[in-house]
Structure 1
Amino acid sequence: MCMKCIFIFLAILTTCFGSHFRGALFSWRPKDIPNKIEILYRLNWRRSGAHFCNESTISSGTILAGGSLSCFKNCNESTIAVLNYFCTDFSETEDWTTGTGSITYTFPSSKTYFEFGFKGAAWIPLVSGGSSWEMRTKAYLAIRSDTGRINSPPQFDISPIVRLAHGCQHTIGIPGRSTCTVTYDAIGTNGYYGVAIQVEDFTAGSTTPLSSAPIQFLINVYNITSGCNSVPEFLPPTRPNQNTFFVNPNGTFTEIIVARSRIPMTDIKEITTLSPPGFSKSVLRPYPSLPGAWYIDVTWNPTKKFSNQTLVFCFSATDKSG
């Protein structure tokens, strides 16, 4: 599987039990009122169950329920809110649904440091590890001495499942406003592994984080017979990796994503996406002018609520070899 990401700027105009959790991520950003923040999250679940999603679910804006957000430190209550979310993407072959949501919350004014998060016990069966998870987000809401403002932590995203060929070394980037990468030698037993990362930011010379935001996702190690460099390739007119462009609210973003297997006589099985809310994707079909290539069309009409935000759109391709 290969992955690319596009940054979209919107201008001012051990075997475990249970199997529905596929990972999640949390972050936050300050609002104009002291101690008031917007908590941002993406939740990933098994599609063949209560979290079923298709293009109709996405286009209708159906709200799905994903558990509850807990406060671990310095709140007035133990439960902050229900984690409702809008489905943004799904994979039929890998059986996952993913979606995003946000919660606006005001913490007690007597404190400047807070911890909140999400926990449960139903990971997909893993090669090693238990079924439980806990994702803990740390927010420091005091005014920074170096900027005169409340800290704004990095925003990031990643696919629920990252597929890695057995016997190969891989570098996994964390898409977003960070330079975080994870290097992994896929030499263990084939199957699923849970990955947990904390993304933290600091003032210069400090070892105390201003924020700590969790990411949890799955690695799927699988057999490959065609070599480590045989992952599918993206072809023009697909935009280059890490491409950045601007979209006006009420404008239209369109993209043609074209992929081809590097293995002769092998078709593309699926092109999956990781999107902001409201993206629409076509079915996968052969690309007329490139033999062996397959493509999808992507369309998005952002509203004004996305103004002045930097958003990430990622896509990956899987062929029928594995």
Structure 2
Amino acid sequence: MFLSVVLLLLLVRDSYASHFYGVMMTYYPKASYINGSTSVELHYKVSYDLCTHTDSWSCSGNCGTETQILPLTKVDEISGEWCQREAVTSRQLTSNSPLTLVFASSAWISNVHGIGSWRAVTNVELRTRSDISKANTSPQTTVLPALRVPYNCQRNISMLTFDPDGDDVRCRFASSALSECVTSTNLSDLSISSSSCTLLFSSSANSSQGSYVVQMVMEDFPLQTITLTQTGGSQVQKTTSDAISTIPIQFVLKVDAAAPSCTEGQYLPRFLSPTPNNRAQLYTSVNQMLVIIISSQATQATSSELLYSGPYNVTKSSLGSGSFSLTWTPSVAEGGESHPICFVVQATVSSSRYQSELRCVIVTVGNSPSTTAAAPTTTTTQSPTTTQSPTTTAEFPTTTTQSPTTTAEFPTTTTQSPTTTSILITTTESPTTTTKFPTTTTPILTTTTQSPTTTTQSPTTTIPNYNN
């Protein structure tokens, strides 16, 4: 009996000891006051094997008073493997001087490096920048807790690198010498392209199988020498070689057994148009529904699941035949912010799992809940009534105006074949306000004909067939 209890305790201990799947953080300066005080909002995601583990961050420097806005709330989960959750906190600060946040504990899931404890560091810079006359906003990114690749297939994982201030964003492995992690990741199978923030995996050895701990940092650099001014007037300079802020990106890369083929679209799912391109910029408004439709193909496997990382209140749905949707309605609290969403499609053959490439988009949210954000104009020349592809057709409902003095824009509805998709933006509009966001090359289609007193739409529209 005693031996059974000991064995049970060891199993519980080992289960808890190998539970960490990674972390990331971004921040947004929120307010500056005449007395020199300021506030900052911090968004972070932590990933464990279960949705029950807690977290604790330590702070040094200008820490101020912390307020929890959102407790740890589930984003997405693979039952029995990982759970990612998001939390949001705010700090009210007496000045705009920097602060550092550290997340440290143990232990990583079992991995080929033998790394146990983790440490992740965020350097928050809030001093007023001379080039934009306001505080710095960190780069915006996210990633899934675990990505998969067969050991015989090279994979380039292109991280999202959106910076609201237009800075130069670079990535590198975290350094234990700089106290950015406990043990540095250093394997010949993994490398990073600093300027593109692309993680490269390349191996052909069966011995490469296992879980790799990926510990990266993402930093923003000014495009020219700038001055940072602190409350009270003191100043420091940042050159193009000086990082302004630092955020952690930590996750797991699972290297699986060899795939029968590395050609995308066979075992490894391939994205089909018009799934948004990687790093595409989308626009929506507060209280306005954004729908992203994603399509994939794997001829030798079953595309069974969409996995994503993004805001906690994004919902996902399966549309069948390798097609899925992500739906998000941002709240007033998210107005004026940019939020990353990353996703992969996972296919299965028996017990083997194969993932598509990682794709990410950035969604910029307008401030006004009464402003309709029409879909950005695309740079592709097209006629709303011209058939571009015989297999990609979307039908839109006939619409009528709500009143003689109201300009109304109605949701678009996409009827799709198993291999075609569309990104839709569904809007609810204030009676007299219609605002369009800047031009983008994202393949998003919204067809609207407006006049001062009526809004009509053509009964049918054919979407061009974009190849990704």
Distance (Å, rounded) in 1 between the aligned partners of 2:121 and 2:219: 12
Alignment partner of 1:303 is 2:360: no
- Structure 1 residue 313: Cα displacement: 2.1
Distance (Å, rounded) in 2 between the aligned partners of 1:81 and 1:119: 19
Distance (Å, rounded) in 2 between the aligned partners of 1:76 and 1:239: 40
* Contact 2:64–2:92 (Cα < 8 Å) also in 1: no
Partner of 2:310: 275
Aligned counterpart for 1:106 among listed residues 83, 87, 92: 92
Give, as a single letter, the amino acid of the residue that structure 1 aligns with 2:262.
C
- The answer for unaligned runs of 5 or more in structure 2 is 1-13, 163-168, 170-195, 225-238, 353-468
Distance (Å, rounded) in 2 between the aligned partners of 1:222 and 1:136: 30
Residue identity (%): 26
Partner of 1:198: 217
What is the CA deviation profile of residues 33-87 of structure 1, one whole-angstrom value per residue up to 9, with x for unaligned ones? 244211111111213x626xxxxxxxxxxxxxx311111445479x997993221
Higher strand proportion (structure 1 or 2) = 1
Partner of 2:107: 122
Partner of 2:197: 180
Partner of 1:8: none
Give, as a single letter, the amino acid of the residue that structure 2 aligns with 1:106.
Q
Aligned counterpart for 1:319 among listed residues 335, 339, 347: 347
Distance (Å, rounded) in 2 between the aligned partners of 1:242 and 1:115: 28
1:136-155 alignment, distance < 5 Å? 136-155=121-140
Distance (Å, rounded) in 1 between the aligned partners of 2:58 and 2:304: 39
Partner of 1:163: 148
Q: With structure 2 as the length reference, what TM-score do the two structures score?
A: 0.55
What is the CA deviation profile of residues 115-160 of structure 1, one whole-angstrom value per residue up to 9, with x for unaligned ones? 1121110211111132100111112322223333222221111111
Distance (Å, rounded) in 1 between the aligned partners of 2:250 and 2:303: 27
- Structure 1 residue 317: Cα displacement: 1.2
Distance (Å, rounded) in 2 between the aligned partners of 1:259 and 1:26: 30
- Where 1:305 maps in the other structure, the secondary structure is helix
- Where 2:333 maps in the other structure, the secondary structure is helix
What is the CA deviation profile of residues 165-214 of structure 1, one whole-angstrom value per residue up to 9, with x for unaligned ones? 21333211112405421222245521101111111122334433211111
* Contact 2:68–2:88 (Cα < 8 Å) also in 1: no
The aligned length equals 281
Alignment partner of 1:210 is 2:268: no
Distance (Å, rounded) in 2 between the aligned partners of 1:298 and 1:206: 37
- Structure 1 residue 89: Cα displacement: 1.4
* Contact 1:36–1:105 (Cα < 8 Å) also in 2: yes
Aligned counterpart for 2:320 among listed residues 286, 290, 298: 286
Distance (Å, rounded) in 1 between the aligned partners of 2:48 and 2:57: 16
**Would the alpha carbon gap of residues 72 and 184 (structure 1) be closer, same or farther in structure 2, given more than 3 Å must change?**
farther
Distance (Å, rounded) in 1 between the aligned partners of 2:338 and 2:67: 26
Partner of 1:4: none
- Structure 1 residue 108: Cα displacement: 5.0
Distance (Å, rounded) in 2 between the aligned partners of 1:74 and 1:312: 27
Give, as a single letter, the amino acid of the residue that structure 2 aligns with 1:67.
D
Higher RCO by CA contacts (8 Å cutoff, separation 6 or greater): 1
* Contact 1:190–1:220 (Cα < 8 Å) also in 2: yes
Give, as a single letter, the amino acid of the residue that structure 1 aligns with 2:292.
E
Give, as a single letter, the amino acid of the residue that structure 1 aligns with 2:202.
D
Cα RMSD after superposing both structures: 2.8
Distance (Å, rounded) in 2 between the aligned partners of 1:82 and 1:190: 40
Q: With structure 1 as the length reference, what TM-score do the two structures score?
A: 0.77
